[in-house]
């Protein structure tokens, strides 16, 4: 994860070193060598944040600046770094703690998350409501109009699956995740995270950040409360992209490992331009993409 650009871009290496110094373990080893830690969310979160911020810094060093930013779940922290509201040093330590709090609130195997495909949101919400007599279950991620993830306690999620099947849902995919994040099961993590967030000094945002929780522009005074809520509230990614489009933003760059968000954006609105930065090839393609858009 990030190895190619780590070897070629000095600023990527410097970002990894900064994270390692702050966290007390080698980010290079975590991302580039076989290990079991990367599957634990307390390590996954700072690793992804480090890689994403490193790639962001590469683009910024080449003269590119975003007009607005958004992320999905953990990505909201990189978005806040991009906006200038949160320093990378504070962010990487913060998400390491966030991961710890989340794994303790919902240990591996304590719940279940399932992607529900091609089903109306109102139907999914009603099935979750009916299944809630067996425990916590609710929508956790509104990824695209065609994909909504539900999560919660196993018995309640499985009842919701049965109700959705009876309502006509054809495809549901169980997800291999550490825990049922963005549900009420994360309330203890939310409370502990709030205590840490209250100690962070957030600077004035230079560009708008779209909140996962509201799918609206994050108000400076609401950063702490929104990040506190976010860990146990559904992520409204699909609506966030619509909000950005309403601002007149038509081109999106996914920064970080993988191309999941690019895929989501294409399903939300095929007319939007997309690019991504993950390695040398995608960086070159993104620079070409952004240069061509500047000339239009």
pLDDT 10s digits, 165-214: 999 999 999 998 878 999 999 999 999 999 999 999 999 999 999 999 99
At the topology level of CATH, where does 3-106+184-294 sit?
Answer: Malonyl-Coenzyme A Acyl Carrier Protein; domain 2 (3.40.366)
The per-residue pLDDT for 235 is 98
Annotated catalytic residue 275:
no
Structure tokens at 218: 């994050």
Asked which of 139-143, 164-168, 292-296 is least confident by mean pLDDT, the reply is 292-296
Tell me, yes or no, if the pTM score tops 0.85. Answer: yes
Which one from 26, 73, 110, 132 is the annotated catalytic residue?
73
Query: Which pLDDT does position 155 carry in this prediction?
Result: 95
Q: Give me the catalytic one of 182, 211, 233, 275.
A: 182
Q: What is the dihedral of CA 77, 106, 193, 175, to 10 degrees?
A: 10
Residue-range domain boundaries for the chain: 3-106+184-294, 112-174
Q: pLDDT tens digits, residue range 231-268?
A: 999 999 999 999 999 999 999 999 999 999 999 999 99
- Looking at the chain, how many residues does it have? 296
Structure confidence at residue 45 (pLDDT): 96
- 263: buried, middle or exposed (CB in 10 Å: 19+, 13-18, 0-12)? middle
Q: Cβ-count burial of 34 within 10 angstroms (0-12 exposed, 13-18 middle, 19+ buried)?
A: exposed
* 62-100 pLDDT tens trace: 999 999 999 999 999 999 999 999 999 999 999 999 999
Known catalytic residue at 221: no
Supply the mean pLDDT for the chain. Answer: 96
Alpha-carbon distance of 165 to 292, in angstroms, equals 46
pLDDT for res 275: 98
Residue in 37, 69, 53, 70 with CA at minimum distance from that of residue 5: 53
For residue 179, the model assigns a pLDDT of 83
pLDDT at residue 293, as a whole number: 86
Fold of domain 112-174: Alpha-Beta Plaits (3.30.70)
Q: Residue 10 in contact with residue 17, Cβ under 8 Å?
A: no
- Give the strands of the sheet with 137-144, arranged side by side: 137-144, 147-152, 112-117, 171-174
pLDDT tens sequence across 99-130 = 999 999 988 777 999 999 999 999 999 999 99
């Amino acid at each position: 994860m990030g190895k190619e650009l780590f070897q070629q871009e000095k600023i990527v290496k410097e970002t990894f070193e900064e994270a390692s110094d702050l966290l007390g373990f080698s980010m290079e080893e975590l991302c580039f060598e076989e290990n079991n830690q990367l599957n634990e969310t307390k390590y996954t979160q700072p690793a992804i944040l480090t890689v994403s911020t490193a790639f962001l810094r590469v683009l910024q060093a080449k003269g590119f600046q975003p007009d607005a930013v958004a992320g999905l779940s953990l990505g909201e922290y990189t978005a806040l770094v991009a906006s200038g509201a949160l320093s990378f040093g504070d962010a990487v330590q913060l998400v390491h703690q966030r991961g710890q709090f989340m794994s303790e609130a919902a240990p591996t195997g304590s719940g279940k998350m399932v992607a529900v495909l091609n089903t109306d949101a109102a139907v999914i919400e009603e099935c979750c409501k009916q299944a809630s007599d067996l425990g916590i279950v609710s929508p956790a991620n509104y990824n695209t109009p065609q994909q909504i993830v539900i999560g919660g306690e196993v018995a309640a999620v499985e009842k919701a699956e049965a109700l959705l099947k009876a309502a006509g849902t054809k495809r549901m995919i169980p997800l291999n995740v550490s825990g049922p994040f963005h549900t009420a099961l994360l309330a203890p993590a939310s409370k502990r995270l709030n205590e840490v967030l209250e100690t962070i000094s957030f600077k004035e945002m230079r560009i708008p950040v779209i909140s996962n929780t509201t799918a609206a522009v994050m108000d400076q005074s609401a950063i702490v409360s929104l990040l506190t809520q976010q860990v146990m509230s559904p992520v409204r990614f699909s609506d966030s992209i619509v909000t950005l489009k309403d601002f007149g933003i038509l081109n999106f760059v996914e920064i970080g490992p993988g191309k999941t968000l690019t895929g989501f954006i294409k399903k939300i609105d095929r007319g939007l331009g997309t690019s991504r930065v993950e390695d040398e090839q995608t960086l070159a393609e993104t620079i070409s993409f952004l240069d061509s858009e500047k000339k239009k």
